[in-house]
Amino acid sequence: MDNARERHLIRYSGGGSFSPDTIARASGSTIVTEDGRELLDFTSGQMSAILGHAHPEIVATIREQAERLDHLYSGMLSRPVLDLAERLTGTLPAPLDKAVFLTTGAEANEAALRMAKLVTGGYEVVSFARSWHGMTQAAAGATYSAGRTGYGPTAPGNFALPVPDRFRPDITDADGNLDWRRQLDLGFDLIDAQSTGNLAACLVEPVLSSGGVIDLPPGYLAALRDKCHERGMLLVLDEAQTGLCRTGTWYAFERDGVVPDILTLSKTLGAGLPLAAVLTSAEIEQEAHDRGFLFFTTHVNDPLPAAVGGTVLDVLVRDRLDQRARELGDRLRAGLDELAREHAVVGDVRGRGLLLGLELVDEERGADELGAAVTRRCAELGLHMNIVQLPGMGGTFRIAPPLTASDAEIDRGLEILDKALADRA
């Protein structure tokens, strides 16, 4: 049984390997291996389990809903779907009043891009040069952080914008700081030069997670929206990892006062269960419908995951987890800042709420090797951490504990990371 992974599993992580441990169970912020070893989960599973693992109310919802109604024909609707649509749009500003529920973030982005192309009549898509939006066709075409080599050409019309990375700025002002306005202007000058006049959508994350936890500078999102609307493009925000309180507000775009034309949610909406959503205005939905919008899957608007989504909203509202994410985020950020003062290899700490990044620098050894060594040591000491997989950025940790973590768990994770940095081999 132990060699089943080598004998029977297809590997899918772009050259990476599976964790050596086999996981037996998980609860709250703790993962337990088959041999009884405990790991503190600082990635919320796949950056998704914002309520921790095996939350009792989610477990109860799954049991109750599965006994009553789990799956339906795609043209049928159920009360959990109708309720979730009403409640979820109620957490959003106008005019985001229309929703469809899918399974994964890739599906949601695929549907959003399909809708944007149909409504605008264009086909060209802009996204960040370190983006990750999924592995299905259109989503993969808009993904630049990995997975582009060896698969043949993507669909025509995909353009990359430079990433506004303030720690490693490529265009600077007189003081050496990132000049993101000039960078954005240059990026769109290049896009305009390449476009055939068929720009349809700009698909971006408010905080690039797989791209190194890059928080867009204040003002950037509004400027990007203006660039899009000047060209007749729709602004599509992918809040798979930032939505539903993760960054300390219900949605990351709230900080900038920018409402997207289309919003996609996934990971956090199901709190680790497969649930995604596309949300847009009644006007855009009507235009898409009039033009024959077609996007459905086997599990579109399924009742079981929709019921889970309703429970997720219950817990987020009742337990004020937006506020809790701010408080825990401040505690975690303060601890990471202290580590930066104590360890010279910590080059930068960044992010928002409970989505934080810590970037290691090591000119002699290389950040990729150092990041791998620190990750291994963290695991040995009982902390699961995740590093960015981009070449040259393998020393950047994506730190995203559950919103339900305790103060003591945050402190323990910081203590383990401190020791791992000190023990780096």
The residues that are catalytic are 132, 205, 238, 241, 267, 398
Q: Which residues pair with 96 in a beta bridge?
A: 281
3-state secondary structure of 381: helix
Q: Which residues pair with 127 in a beta bridge?
A: 160
Handedness of CA 189, 194, 197, 203 (dihedral sign): negative
Q: How far is CA 353 from CA 84, 133, 393, 418, in A?
A: 25, 21, 22, 20
Burial of 111 (C-beta count, 10 Å sphere; 0-12/13-18/19+): buried
CA 135 to chain centre: 14
Contacts of 352 (CB under 8 A, 6+ apart): 207, 215, 242, 247, 248, 252, 255, 329
φ, ψ for residue 33, nearest 5 deg = -80, 170
Q: How far is CA 64 from CA 57, 108, 272, 303, 321, in A?
A: 11, 27, 18, 12, 25
Handedness of CA 134, 137, 138, 142 (dihedral sign): positive
3-state secondary structure of 84: helix
**356-381 burial string, b = 16+ CB within 10 Å, else e?**
bbbbbbbeeeebbebbebbbebbbeb
Q: How far is CA 50 from CA 36, 55, 117, 194, 390, in A?
A: 24, 10, 32, 40, 25
**Contact criterion met (CB below 8 Å) for 139 and 291:** no
Handedness of CA 16, 21, 23, 26 (dihedral sign): negative
CA separation for the pair 309, 312 (Å, rounded): 5
Position 41, amino acid: D
φ, ψ for residue 62, nearest 5 deg = -60, -45
Q: What is the DSSP string of 122-187?
A: --EEEEETT----SSHHHHHT--SS--TTS-PPPS-EEEEPP--SSS-SSB-TTS-B-HHHHHHHH
